[in-house]
Copies of this chain bind each other. A is one copy, B any other.
Amino acid sequence: MTFSDQLNEYNQTLAGDHNFRWGYLGEQLSRSGHDVEALLQQLAAFQVAIPSWALGTGGTRFGRFPAGGEPRSLEEKIEDVGIIHALNRSSGAISLHIPWDIPRDYEAIRQLLQANDLIIDSVNSNTFQDQSGQPLSYKFGSLCHTDTAVRQQAVEHNIQVAEYGQKLGDECKTLTVWLSDGSDFPGQHHFRRAYQRTLDSLQTIYNALPSDWTMLIEYKPYEPHFYSMLIPDWGTSLRLSEACGPKAQVLVDLGHHLPNTNIEQIVARLLHFGRLGGFHFNGSMYGDDDLTTGSIKPFQLFLIFCELVQAAQDSVVRNPPVAYMIDASHNLKDPIEDLLQSVQNILTAYAKALLVDTEALFDAQDANDAVRAEEVLRDAFMTDVRALVAEAIHRQGGALDPIGLYRNLSIRQQRIDTRGKLAVATGL
């Protein structure tokens, strides 16, 4: 039986319940004045990239507990994203990490991608580790390093990462720079000089990129350094982006904020400045916990999507298209299940944000009617949109319950049988 047959058979078993739920929800949405077909199309069009490094079990500095059957090569990673996308039809892109995912045979990779209906949409550089054989160490920094030669090595690595990306397909036009540079003790860094060196390095990279590429600059307040990070906050990312040029943009990772930060406001600010380039979805309770996105603060995720949707509908906003990617690390869950959950949570938040009656919201805002504004948001958030999301995936050819089918088909066990119990994803 082909996967497609299995999927159809599975969907058939859920059809009765789904039709009952969707029948009601579709009617309810229509009564409320929504264009149901348009909603389904918007959801179908939404794609979130899967990071190649999320297909293996992550771990903490204290230990790592492998899931079994982890992908041992770029090819196997593509195979895993392929099954995710086949199940939910919303994960049609991969974000690669260099040097963990350097292809050996570009043509074969391109064909494999095509066979799985996938693209590579972005590449990520890595100067937070030393690779074996690397001449100079990043122990004390990379783009900010006091030694010109180390900076040069890190700059060249970034340029090379973009070159790998160019060879992987025309859709890959984004270089993501997460700079782990920072200091662990007072006095270690000369803050102003380290900033200036970093800016110089970034400008060199930026200028070496093809003109249609975007450079995303990520920020993070702490870890792996615990006194200062070179790019700790959106303000620094924004300044660096502006100093590089129009194709340099800020990347927001949901786990990279100090306690209690209002992230949705930052998102709105960056959209207002036309500098929100990308998003890393994950879940956070304490810090960069890299949990399933939406697992801890689903209302916050919804509020963030409200900003994204409102900006997309607002003609005064001149922000480029935002690159959506997951960036999580599954310590306990089956990585594929975690990614399926993540995408489901993202689609759910997006669907709810699409339901917000923005006209009523803006009226309430103009009238300073906080209660009414809140109720407008809550009306969307409280709506049970699961049948809407399922219908959208279903119409694209996906499963009504992606995780259910994944488990039903025992895909993890198949992976273990093929790849081995102790297979370790490359890069981990």
Contact = CB atoms under 8 A, between A and B. Distances in A.
B190 A332 contact: no
Interface in A92-150: 128-130, 137-141, 146
B296 A298 contact: no
A211 interface: no
A371 B285 contact: no
B269 A374 contact: no
A376 B299 contact: no
B226 A291 contact: yes
Interface residues of A, number: 109
Contacts of A196: 272
Nearest to A356: B187
A349 to B, nearest CB: 11
B286 A370 contact: no
Contacts of A226: 284-286, 289-291
Interface string A224-244: 101110001111101100000
A137 B331 CA distance: 14
A4 interface: no
Interface stretch (A42-50, A75-83, A379-387): A379-387
Nearest to A301: B299
A376 B289 contact: no
Contact of A370 (B60, B332, B383, B384): B332
Contacts of A258: 258-261
A374 B236 contact: no
A337 interface: yes
A371 B299 contact: no
Indicate how many identical chains form the complex. Answer: 4
Nearest to A272: B192
Given A128-B62, A364-B187, A333 B291 contact: no
B361 A375 contact: no
Residue among A128, A271, A337, A371 with max Cβ neighbours from chain B (10 Å): A371
Interface stretch (A6-14, A161-169, A177-185, A392-400): A177-185
A414 interface: no
A313 interface: no
Nearest to A307: B191
A116 to B, nearest CB: 24
Given A188-B368, A188-B373, A226-B289, 19 more contacts: A17-B31, A62-B128, A63-B128, A65-B137, A185-B332, A187-B370, A190-B365, A191-B264, A193-B365, A221-B260, A221-B262, A222-B287, A234-B235, A258-B258, A260-B285, A299-B299, A333-B371, A341-B371, A348-B382
Interface of A: 17, 20-21, 24, 28, 31, 58-63, 65, 128-130, 137-141, 146, 180, 183-193, 195-196, 221-224, 226-228, 232-236, 238-239, 258-262, 264-265, 268-269, 271-273, 284-287, 289-292, 295-299, 303, 307, 311, 314, 317, 329, 331-334, 337-338, 341, 348, 361-362, 364-368, 370-371, 373-377, 381-384, 386, 403
